[in-house]
Amino acid sequence: MNDHTKGQLTELCQMVYRGCKPCAIMPIMKKDIQTAKAICVMENCKFMFVELSEGWVTMWIYIRDELAGVIECLPKTPRTAADHYILGAMFGYSNDAICDYLNNLSHETI
């Protein structure tokens, strides 16, 4: 993992730890999982990995144990307004911002 990616991951962990957002995600190469885990532990965050594609995982970063169950239930691709709303809330967007986003989506998308 290069220094730039380490810095991005550290910044996301700090935002979650400080309460700026309930959780964050970042794509991580499978070969870098151990480094990513070490950064999250150093920043006092919890994490979970979800298969993304060959050679890659999505790293979910969070603090509250309750979010692990929510993360496990999320679809890989959001399809409904509820899916989009939950993701927006988990990433720290305001209710108004999420609703504006939903209003701008095509009805075919959700």
List, for residues 85-102, the tens digit of each pLDDT value.
999 999 999 999 999 999
The string of DSSP letters for 22-62 reads SEEEEEEEGGGHHHHHHHHHHTT-EEEEEEEETTEEEEEEE
List, for residues 10-39, the tens digit of each pLDDT value.
999 999 999 999 999 999 999 999 999 999
CATH number of the domain at 1-64, out of 1.10.3470, 3.30.1370, 2.60.40, 3.30.70? 3.30.1370
Domain boundaries, the chain: 1-64, 74-110
Query: Does the global pTM surpass 0.75?
Result: yes
- Mean pLDDT in the chain? 93
* Residue 106 banded pLDDT, cuts 50, 70, 90: low
